[in-house]
Structure 1
Amino acid sequence: MNLELQQFKANFFKALGHPLRIRILELLAEGDKNVNELQTLIGSEGSAVSQQLAILRNNNIVYGTKDGNKVTYSLRDPMIIELLSVARQIFNNHLIDTISMLDRFNEE
Structure 2
Amino acid sequence: MDLELQKFKAEFFKALGHPLRIRILELLSEGDKNVNELQELIGSEGSAVSQQLAILRNKNIVSGTKDGNKVVYSLRDPMITELLAVARQIFNNHMIDTISMLDRFHEE
Whether the TM-score (by the shorter chain) exceeds 0.5 is yes
1:29-75 superposed Cα distances (whole Å, 9 cap, x missing partner): 00000000000100100000000000000000000000111000000
TM normalised by structure 1 equals: 0.99
What 5-or-longer segments of structure 1 have no aligned partner?
none
SS of aligned partner of 2:28 = helix
Distance 2:37 2:106 in 1: 46
In the other structure, the counterpart of 1:57 is 57
Matched letter for residue 68 of structure 1: G
Distance 2:44 2:105 in 1: 40
In the other structure, the counterpart of 1:107 is 107
Distance 1:63 1:92 in 2: 30
TM normalised by structure 2 equals: 0.99
Give the 4+ runs in structure 1 shifted more than 6 A.
Answer: none
Distance 1:80 1:12 in 2: 11
Q: Identity over aligned residues, as a percent?
A: 89
CA RMSD of aligned residues (A): 0.4
